[in-house]
Amino acid sequence: MIKILHVEDDQDIREITQLSLALSPDIELIQCVTSEEALEATANLVPDLFLLDVMMPGMSGPELLAELRSRPHLRQVPAVFMTARVQRNEIQAFLEQGAMDVIAKPFDPVTLAERVMAMAEKGRSLKEQGKKSAS
């Protein structure tokens, strides 16, 4: 089972994401409306993947990711940004800010679960490689 923490302020996108990811029985989805909710939820939760909206009121997705990564138990959790801002230089900036991938909005609901699962698995593999290197 892969735990995904999805942070999105737009109700329609949350619903579409929930329906899309429900296509995979291997995904457990935890959804938050605000960055503050996400910070509270991760006090006792270590998801396998962060799926973060970029443009949110208050704390943006990149700012939230920086805050999440400041917490030792969340440092290695891979992150994917979801955004309509997909110019080449914007995507590069998101990757430099620590995202593993960027999903363009609007996204394909049929392939979202597969793409998210692949990113979570890639994140798990990188964690395992890191543990082996540290040994």
- Domains held by the chain: number: 1
Which residue from 111, 127, 132 is spatially nearest to 48, judged by alpha carbons? 127
Tokens representing 79 are 């992150």
Report how far residue 108's alpha carbon sits from residue 114's, in angstroms, rounded to the nearest whole number.
11
The pLDDT value given to residue 86 = 86
Q: What is the pTM of this model?
A: 0.92
Measure CA 20 to chain center: 15
pLDDT in tens, the chain (135 residues): 999 999 999 999 999 999 999 989 999 999 999 999 999 999 999 999 999 999 999 999 999 999 999 999 999 999 999 999 888 999 999 999 999 999 999 999 999 999 999 999 888 887 777 666 665
Residue 40's domain is classified under what CATH number?
3.40.50.2300
Domain that holds residue 52: 2-134
